[in-house]
Amino acid sequence: MISVVIAAKDQEYLLAETLAALVPAAADGFVREVVVADGGSSDGTCMVADAVGCVIVEGEAEAGLKAARSDWVLVVAPGVRLEADWFREAAIAMQRLQRGGSKPVAMLFRGAIDDYGWQARGRELALKLSRSSRRKQAVLAPRKSLLEGQRLAVYALRARAFTGGITLPPE
């Protein structure tokens, strides 16, 4: 039903976390394909993407959008983990929007920090107030609109996109 585009460069651990969070949606048939746009990684980013069956293209997010086959695309940053049932809410919203025949809409996820304490809650509040940082985390929108750079209306999903909480191994 949708394609997922992840632009990554030297982010093998973060990519693995993001891909693992997409498994329930893929098992349900909501995610048709995952395209990883590799910006010239020197670590195991391509190996991680290949191991789980992703389509790998060279370049930035735009190259991934061009390679995607679905009409709707989820552009997600490496290290962002979507809530377990995000795809159910997104599917319902997509059906409503398609039936309504309205203008193209970008669906944004609520930003959430995967950590404890008042500092994490403060960062969550900052994410809530900043639309631009939410767009950098995860956005679900029509592929054609993203490729053309159209200005889209925003629909806020209740599902959360988690960042933080990942500890990278020492180098």
Is the model's pLDDT at 128 over the cut of 80?
Answer: no
Mean pLDDT of the chain: 86
The mean pLDDT value for 66-74 works out to: 95
- Give the residue among 13, 124, 11, 18 at the shortest CA–CA distance from 74: 18
Q: Which two tokens stand for residue 14?
A: 């973060």
> What distance in Å separates the CA atoms of residue 17 and residue 9, rounded to the nearest whole number?
15
2-163 CATH, one of 3.40.50.12280, 1.10.1780.10, 1.10.3720.10, 3.90.550.10: 3.90.550.10
Is the model's pLDDT at 82 over the cut of 80?
Answer: yes
Is the model's pLDDT at 149 over the cut of 80?
Answer: yes
Is the model's pLDDT at 157 over the cut of 80?
Answer: yes
The separation between CA 115 and the C-alpha centre of its own chain, rounded to angstroms, equals: 20
Per-residue pLDDT tens for 14-46? 999 999 999 999 999 999 999 999 998 899 999
Is the model's pLDDT at 132 over the cut of 60?
Answer: no
Residue 113 is classified by DSSP as E
> According to the model, what pLDDT value does residue 169 have?
55
SS3 26: helix
The residue type of 97 is L
Is the model's pLDDT at 171 over the cut of 80?
Answer: no
Burial letters for 132-150: b for 16+ Cβ neighbours within 10 Å, e otherwise? eebbebbbbbbbebbeeee
Measured over all CA atoms, what is the biggest interatomic distance in the chain, rounded to whole angstroms? Answer: 51
Residue 31 is classified by DSSP as E
Q: Where exactly are the structural domains of the chain?
A: 2-163
Banded pLDDT at 124 (limits 50, 70, 90): low
The residue type of 91 is A
% residues pLDDT > 90 (the chain): 56
Question: Do 3 and 35 meet the contact criterion of CB atoms below 8 Å apart?
Answer: yes
- pTM (predicted TM-score): 0.86
Banded pLDDT at 136 (limits 50, 70, 90): low
Residue predicted with more confidence, 162 or 54: 54
SS3 54: coil
